[in-house]
Amino acid sequence: MTETGNLELDLIAVGAHPDDVEIACGGTLARLVRKGYKVGIVDLTDGEPTPGSPGPDVRLEEARRAAEILGVATRINLNLPNRRLFDSFENRVALATVFRRHRPKVVIGFGGKTVLASPDHYQAMLITDAAVFYSRLSKWDEHFEGLTPHVISNQLSFPIALHGLDLPEASGYIVADIGPTLEVKLEAIRVYATQFPPSKAGIFRAVETMNRYHGLTAGFEAGELFLTYRSVGIDDLMHWASPAHTRT
């Protein structure tokens, strides 16, 4: 998918490279699309150079096909430098401009460091945090192509933790049910043949195992874990604590 004008979105998921979002929350995005929400993906870089890819055109085509499988409304690549991604004013403004243009209610991005993986992930977290704040600042429109400020209602984060169960610090944790879309998620990840050749087939088992583990902790067939930085309020304690026994 490519950018679609000023299409207003319900949610934007931000990754450092094509395939980050698919691995972290592809099942949730696919589920939200099926529920009728308008979902977008922003990749900060094209992920190139990378050892198994002949060039950015191939990687971007993989990203396009993966977005099509998930059903997202738009996928945007900011073409920031891979391997040299740093939190800077210019990069913050580039992402905040996307937020102002597409006006999402919710933004999802990296939470914490991804140990033994690209340091771009941590920089993407810093850029996303700042861009959410920049998006709402008034008297600064000249930096954002004249686009008016936009307040994002909530921000969640995802860990890509396939090497252990330790979690980044957060106020709380949410597990989204992806039982109906786990296979869709795995199909979207498999599209990245440049990143996951047969020699790295173990990544699919690792992702599925982690998603089934997180789902099990919440009573689902499979789930994706999100970090929340504010308390989660409830209207009906019984509905939350025992939904199967709530009065009708």
More confident residue, 160 or 70: 70
Confidence of residue 246 (pLDDT cuts 50, 70, 90): low
Q: Quick one: which of 52, 54, 98 has its CA closest to 75?
A: 98
The residue among 77, 73, 80, 66 whose CA lies nearest residue 38 is 73
Model confidence pTM above 0.85? yes
Distances (CA, A) of 58 to 49, 52, 195, 202: 11, 11, 11, 22
Task: For the chain, list the domains and their CATH numbers.
Answer: 11-245 (3.40.50.10320)
* pLDDT of 85: 97
Predicted confidence (pLDDT) per residue in 143-153, tens digit: 999 999 999 99
Distances (CA, A) of 247 to 192, 212, 235, 243, 244: 47, 30, 14, 9, 9
CA angle (244 as vertex; 239, 247 as ends), nearest 5: 60
Give mean pLDDT, residues 1-23: 88
* Residue written as token pair 């995802």: 158
Q: Which two tokens stand for residue 178?
A: 């992806």
**Would you state the pLDDT for residue 232?**
85
- pLDDT band for position 245 (cuts 50, 70, 90): low
Report pLDDT digits (tens) over 164-199: 777 777 778 999 999 999 999 999 999 999 999 999
pLDDT mean over 158-162: 83
Is the confidence at residue 67, as pLDDT, over 90?
yes
